[in-house]
Structure 1
Amino acid sequence: MPGPLHGLRIIEFAGLGPGPFACMMLADHGATVIRIERPGGTQGGPESDTTTDILLRSRKRIAIDMKSASGIAVLRDLIATADGLVEGFRPGVMERLGLGPDDMLALNPKLVYGRMTGWGQTGPYAPMAGHDINYIALSGALHAFGRKGEKPTPPINMMGDFGGGAMMLAFGMVSALLHVQRGGDGTVIDAAMTDGSALLMSMIYSFHGQGWWQDERGVNMLDTGAHFYDVYETRDGKFISLGPIEPQFYAKMLALTGLADDPAMQPQNDTAKWDDMRDRLARVIALKTRGEWDAVMVGSDACYAPVLSLTEAPAHPHNRARETFLTAGGVKQPAPAPRYSTIATTQPEMADGHTHTREILAQLGYSETLIKETLAQGGVS
């Protein structure tokens, strides 16, 4: 069967990073996503970049001049027949174009209007420029990433852009689309990366409130404070990850590393001894290569995995068995996730560098004559 979002049409206004990722998720799961691009090339790079940009896979593309009357007319026709819309401009930009939520919901009362920004549509920071690092700084998330005694370390842009922004927007879109299908009205989604990254920290805020998570980096169980939840360097300069939190798994790790009889390694949760136990464990791990530790650990309950590079991960036997990565358009990329038992995700298709303008206009009901007239006016291409 086709994907769970099959039959839904989403209008995506071209942007960078998190917006395309949210729309990639919707397309991966069966929605028809029509990407509105600038004439002469998509936002974020020259036209040729679209053929290798994984985030732009599985889309229909049309270039529209949003400053032209003919372009706006086509855009309004698209939005009038759409189930959802996604935009990531600063607050007020869509309103100035005459495409704000009030106007578009008047045009299409069942529309789900998704807005994603860093600071949100309201609040004193809303008009300011920013990036992932700023948004997760304000939510308290960035403070938690890093080792003891060191400055905060940004987790690239996974926490704000993609976790707190794109995934929250995708979830919000699907939730609101379900609401509409059950008879509800269209709505506006205000997806702010500050809000989303704060929400992702819910467990840590809970632990802190309960009194057993210190408001300090690198001294807690999950932030590299614990010796049994950390990354270790091997003899060949590579790394492995260990995470045996439960006592039975910790015992298995000690047995496989030869430390089961070391009394200094027994008080697993004695935080005062974590640094000493980390040093002892690090010295043992450094005696073998990563491959040698694979031979010792894989198949056990020691909560172990090798730390793989971006080049290595697609070739790993587990990822190959699950087809976690695939190749489309000559580009190696992560496969759609999650999986379903009885319905299929969309087989990714990379952009070919061309728009689908005629096809899109025909689906709107434009006659061949009207398509030619519209193209001649120059508002779309």
Structure 2
Amino acid sequence: MTGSPTGAAASPEKTGPLAGLKVIEMAGLGPVPLAALMLSEMGAGVLRIERADSGQPLLSLPEEYDLDRHGRSILKLDLKDPTGAELLLRLAAKADILVEGFRPGVMERLGLGPDVVLQRNPALIYGRLTGFGQDGPLSARAGHDITYLAYAGLLHALGRQDAPPAPPLNLVADQGGGAMMLIAGVLAALFQRSLTGKGQVIDASMIEGASMLAAPIHAYMAAGLWSDRRGENLLDSGAPFYDTYETADARHIAVGCLEPRFFAEFARLLPLDSRFVGSQYDKSSWPAMRAAIAGRIRERTRDEWAALFAATDACVAPVLSLVEARDHPHNRARQSFVTSGRLERPAPAPRFSQNPQTLAAAPAAGDRQPGGILTRFGLSEEEIGALAKAGVIDR
């Protein structure tokens, strides 16, 4: 069985700077699917390999909302069956990139580790993403974003002085230190391959990726400009001019006027006693400054303050909810959020002047039809029929 069944929708021709690249994504949780989504929207053709016996996911979403599957072709394989593992090796031999997020040793036990796969395709870029890295005493341990932040020292730094450390959703270790660092590694390896013709293995660790995001903070500490105690510093709610404040309607505004000229503008419009302008960075004045700011902010609603500061460089913003952010005039003007079916979601990012990205949609029928998928990887009609007969792929 080859090609899409009659009437099945095929994926639209992709655009973007990675158009033409073939990516294999080993299905999993967390940051690897986000990385694969972004590679897909940059133009790469992504084939997501799902386990034939995969159970119920941690968070089950209707397909129209499931970004872990949007923009991909989907192939279910039993990789514990040697025939299924061999098929994946054949697919990897025709791919440019493979990304996986299993614990160290899982791909090796399946006979699909980088040593084996790179023998079949020396030009392949094999991206591996874990919490702790491929080796080390914790490498086999399970974890989540909060776990990796704790080991990186970052969770200790997040939150207020008089409160426990606060987890920042799963944005820092999973998505920032994980997905973004994996993508950076893949793109760097692609450039190196363009010079040498050789692929390589990327060992991306969420602890190390998140730590790298905090490299400037480590530099500030080394220079004596940052305390290792939470809530005492310039960017961690320690400074009264870089914090959030409750408004008259029990909402909040964000104040971020670090530079003296921006703080002076903020003080003029609030208004704030001029004595604070000259002592902005005098920490002994911060308690009184904070109390004065908080008192003034409670006099008006969030939107009244937003309107007052809208046309200024005082660096004051309304704290919008996720839903409100979609309707903000700036985000609407930039089309920063887009609609795909009934899903309104962030637009593909970043933007490219010459290669507009393709918004990923839920897999069409043709994106889940094994015959058509395998044909694109060079398998013959007879081979596909034999695999279907053996039960390695669905009919």
TM-score by length of 1: 0.95
Does the Cα contact within 8 Å between 2:264 and 2:277 map onto a contact in 1?
A: no
Cα distance in structure 2, aligned partners of 1:314 and 1:307: 13
Confirm or deny that 1:278 pairs with 2:290.
yes
Deviation string 1:324-378 (CA, Å, 9 cap, x unpaired) is 1101122111111111122111222123587242221111233334323222211
Quote how far apart the aligned CAs of 1:262 are.
4.2
Does the Cα contact within 8 Å between 1:16 and 1:43 map onto a contact in 2?
A: no
Does the Cα contact within 8 Å between 2:232 and 2:239 map onto a contact in 1?
A: yes
Q: Report what 1:326 is aligned to.
A: 338
Cα distance in structure 2, aligned partners of 1:205 and 1:140: 11
Please tell me the residue identity of whatever aligns with 2:145: D
Does the Cα contact within 8 Å between 1:14 and 1:42 map onto a contact in 2?
A: no
SS in 1 for 2:345: strand
1:255–1:175 CA distance, 2 compared to 1 (3 A): same
Confirm or deny that 1:141 pairs with 2:164.
no
Please tell me the residue identity of whatever aligns with 1:68: D
Cα distance in structure 2, aligned partners of 1:322 and 1:40: 42
Cα distance in structure 2, aligned partners of 1:43 and 1:108: 33
Quote how far apart the aligned CAs of 1:40 are.
5.8
Does the Cα contact within 8 Å between 2:37 and 2:360 map onto a contact in 1?
A: no
Confirm or deny that 1:56 pairs with 2:69.
yes
TM-score by length of 2: 0.92
Q: Report what 1:192 is aligned to.
A: 205
RMSD: 1.8
Does the Cα contact within 8 Å between 1:10 and 1:33 map onto a contact in 2?
A: yes
Counterparts of 1:235-246 in structure 2, within 5 Å, are 235-246=248-259
SS in 2 for 1:186: coil
Cα distance in structure 1, aligned partners of 2:311 and 2:211: 36
Please tell me the residue identity of whatever aligns with 1:305: A
Confirm or deny that 1:263 pairs with 2:275.
yes
1:249 corresponds, among 262, 265, 269, to 262
Quote how far apart the aligned CAs of 1:45 are.
5.7
Cα distance in structure 2, aligned partners of 1:105 and 1:40: 27
Cα distance in structure 1, aligned partners of 2:56 and 2:380: 29
Moved more, 363-372 or 42-51: 42-51
SS in 2 for 1:311: helix
1:308–1:356 CA distance, 2 compared to 1 (3 A): farther
Please tell me the residue identity of whatever aligns with 1:366: L
Please tell me the residue identity of whatever aligns with 2:157: A
Please tell me the residue identity of whatever aligns with 1:318: H
Quote how far apart the aligned CAs of 1:18 are.
0.5
Q: Report what 1:311 is aligned to.
A: 323
SS in 2 for 1:189: strand
1:339–1:279 CA distance, 2 compared to 1 (3 A): same
Counterparts of 1:1-381 in structure 2, within 5 Å, are 2-39=15-52, 44=57, 49-259=62-272, 261-264=273-276, 266-352=278-364, 355-381=368-394
Deviation string 1:63-83 (CA, Å, 9 cap, x unpaired) is 111122332232111101001
Question: 5+ residue gaps in structure 2?
Answer: 1-13
Does the Cα contact within 8 Å between 1:234 and 1:287 map onto a contact in 2?
A: yes
Aligned-pair identity (%):
47
Cα distance in structure 1, aligned partners of 2:109 and 2:120: 17
Quote how far apart the aligned CAs of 1:138 are.
1.3
Does the Cα contact within 8 Å between 1:265 and 1:277 map onto a contact in 2?
A: no
1:329–1:71 CA distance, 2 compared to 1 (3 A): farther
Cα distance in structure 2, aligned partners of 1:39 and 1:318: 44
